[in-house]
Amino acid sequence: MADILRFADKLGPAKIVQVYEPSIDLKAVLVIDNISMGPAFGGIRMAADVSIEECIRLARTMTLKNAAAGLSHGGAKTVVYADPKMPKPEKERLIRALACALRNFREYVMGPDMGTDEECMAWIKDELNNRNVTGLPAEAGGIPIDQIGATAWGLRHAIEAALPYCHFPEACTLAESRVAIQGFGAVGKNAARFLIEQNAILVGAADSQGAVYDPEGLDVNKLIRLKDAGKSVVDIPEGEKFPRDDIIDFDCDIWIPAARPDVVTEENVHRLKAKLVVEGANIPITEAAEKYLHDQGVMVIPDFIANAGGVLCAGMEYQGKIESEVLEIIEKLIRKNTRLILEESRTKKITPREAAMNLAVRRVERAMSFKRWSIY
Ligand code: NAD
């Protein structure tokens, strides 16, 4: 096995923890990347194809995201090697066992991510005697992140703030811009909803079953009803159907990845047609592909700036704030950060990601400078 310390750099990861319980086939990894700014926030991702490397990269994204959002929290992530669609009693047992296994890591605050939800967080809170957990159901004191569409709300505002900086030939407004969304779950479908409220046109959507394209515009409410009924976007009768990954070829102005990591790489990046890419998913585009897009004049708003709405919501839940305060704070902060990095990118002739890294890493390093041992 390759040495796990090969991932270590000046920020972390501080801890990599293997969780294994053979009696119920629980296999998971917790990565606590950096806690110099405070207890680490990091969702629990459940999927059959996760990996340690994915977990390490996602934990780093959380460190940067929390720092850029001005939260006094570090970054972490947990991955559970399992199919999230397993029968509920089995899932509950796995999640409760995971909570027990991680109970002594007090510097880690658990939250939901792909494959886990607010009910899972309620099980964890129950299992750990009311310890702090984020992403809880409203009935357990939480702010329902996915129900209010916190992350998607932030994406909408990142897009509006970015449009004046894009190389669009016509007026820079959301109205009439053609959008394609990869992944039609909590983030993707809420993003579609918020964007069509501004008269944008959803021309393409994809989920794990396939992709659908209609240059005249898809009926977003119909797509949401299908997904809520457990169906796929390709079950909509209108539009042309394609294999899932073909969404990268769809003719559109704005492309929103809102599903898995590394969906755009050096191999397929030249197929993207949009002028603006806003990363709803974490690490959806490899570094080399993102650089290629920048060189082609395509603007990419990086994950840890664009999709910080969810973690801002978690931060407010942690501080005991209420739902009505959340959306306004997300709107203000994401617009401000988007403009900040795009200005710096323009004046210093660097990519938006490089500008965002400067902002976040500067904050983490300053927090580290106050500590005896930098991270601990
Ligand atoms: P979700 O599980 O609710 O939805 C995921 C969607 O993606 C589903 O529709 C699924 O069918 C689809 N999908 C899966 N693999 C796909 C593929 N290869 N191609 C196309 N579609 C695919 O998840 P979510 O909460 O919406 O999260 C999506 C992404 O956004 C993740 O990367 C997550 O880390 C990131 N994110 C989520 C939040 C949040 O608040 N939920 C916050 C920040 C970042």
Q: Are residues 124 and 169 in the same domain?
A: no
| Per-residue pLDDT reduced to its tens digit, 304-359 | 999 999 999 999 988 888 888 899 999 999 999 999 999 999 999 999 999 999 99
Whichever domain contains 20, its CATH number is 3.40.50.10860
Lookup: tokens for 118? 């607010």
Query: Which residue of 61, 114, 248, 256 sits with most ligand 1 atoms within 8 Å of its CB, as the best mutation to test the pocket?
Result: 114
Strands 240-242 and 108-112: unpaired
Distance CA 242, CA 206 (A): 9
- Would residue 373 count as lying in a domain? no
Kindly list the distances between the CA atom of residue 165 and the CA atoms of 120, 293, 330, 344, 358, in Å, as whole numbers in the listed order. 40, 15, 21, 12, 19
CA 115 to centroid of ligand 1, rounded, Å: 9
- Would residue 369 count as lying in a domain? no
Distance CA 30, CA 27 (A): 10
Q: Are residues 316 and 207 in the same domain?
A: yes
Range of the domain at 82: 4-67+74-142
Q: Is the CB of 259 under 6 A from ligand 1?
A: yes
Q: Are residues 50 and 125 in the same domain?
A: yes
- Would residue 374 count as lying in a domain? no
Domain count, the chain: 2
Q: Are residues 224 and 268 in the same domain?
A: yes
Which among 118, 142, 166 is the end of a domain? 142
Nearest CA to ligand 1 atom 15: 208
Q: Are residues 186 and 320 in the same domain?
A: yes
- Would residue 363 count as lying in a domain? no
- Would residue 178 count as lying in a domain? yes
Strands 210-213 and 240-242: antiparallel
294 pLDDT more than 80: yes
| Per-residue pLDDT reduced to its tens digit, 23-63 | 999 999 999 999 999 999 999 999 999 999 999 999 999 99
Q: Are residues 86 and 166 in the same domain?
A: no
- Would residue 129 count as lying in a domain? yes
Whichever domain contains 203, its CATH number is 3.40.50.720
Residue 207 CA: nearest ligand 1 atom is 21
| Per-residue pLDDT reduced to its tens digit, 78-114 | 999 999 999 999 999 999 999 999 999 999 999 999 9
- Would residue 364 count as lying in a domain? no
- Would residue 367 count as lying in a domain? no
Amino acid (one-letter) located at 188: G
Q: Are residues 256 and 187 in the same domain?
A: yes
Q: Is the CB of 282 under 6 A from ligand 1?
A: yes
Which among 142, 170, 199 is the end of a domain? 142
Q: Are residues 111 and 233 in the same domain?
A: no
Which among 126, 142, 158 is the end of a domain? 142
Mean local confidence (pLDDT), 183-190:
96
